[in-house]
Structure 1
Amino acid sequence: MIMMMLLLLLLMMMMIMMIMMMMMMLMLLLLLLLLLLLLLLMMMMMMMMMMMMMMMMMMITRTFLYHHSIE
């Protein structure tokens, strides 16, 4: 009888452990997805910044050129 109880307990423990492992795996996957999303966002932001910088440079150079040409 006691052995049976122990076995049941062991089984329960195993089940709980398995569930915990699954949860951990899911959490890890979610974290990875979040990280990837963040990375993508960062890349987009960087691209936007670069574009803005390029535009600014173009504008500045244009104005300088115009000023020089006017002079």
Structure 2
Amino acid sequence: MVEEVVVEVVVEVLVVVLAVLVVVVVAVVVVVVVVVVVVVVVVVVVVVAVVVVVVVVVVVVVVVVVVVVVVVVVVVVVVVVVVVVVVVVVVVVVVVVVGEGVVVVVVVEVIVFVEVE
């Protein structure tokens, strides 16, 4: 009789120990899965943030380069127009002083020179 009770107690203790072990293993697996999910989410967020920053920097650089190119082109065009106008005015003044026949030749040369560039 005592042996049966001891066997029953040992079996019940073993069942409780196995149940506790199962709960601990399940808890450890859940914690590991949660940690892995959190790490993956953090890595994805960091990668997305880096990509966004790189895209913003590239867009800003492209915009700055385009603005600089446009400004340079506008300045060059304005300078060329001013130079051409000044040359034409000087040539016209010189030609008016010298004579009418030279005006046509010099003005045509200036216009052709500007169109070639």
State whether TM-score is above 0.5.
Answer: yes
Alignment pair present for 1:68 and 2:78: no
SS state at 1:41 partner: helix
Q: Which moved more, 1:6-15 or 1:34-43?
A: 6-15
Higher-Rg structure is 2
In the aligned structure 1, how far is the partner of 2:81 from the partner of 2:51? 44
> How far is 1:5 from its partner?
1.4
What is residue 29 of structure 1 aligned with on the other side?
42
List alignment gaps of at least 5 residues for structure 2. Answer: 1-13, 85-117
What is residue 57 of structure 2 aligned with on the other side?
44
Alignment pair present for 1:13 and 2:26: yes
TM-score w.r.t. length of structure 2? 0.56
In the aligned structure 2, how far is the partner of 1:6 from the partner of 1:67? 91
- Larger RCO of the pair (alpha carbons < 8 Å, separation 6+): 2
**1:19-56 Cα distance to aligned partner (Å, 9 max, x none):** 11011101111111111111111111111001100111
TM-score w.r.t. length of structure 1? 0.87
Count of aligned pairs between the two proteins: 71
Q: Which moved more, 1:20-29 or 1:5-14?
A: 5-14
Question: Given residue 56 of structure 1, which amino acid in structure 2 is its aligned partner?
Answer: V
Q: Over the residues paired in the alignment, what is the CA RMSD in angstroms?
A: 1.3
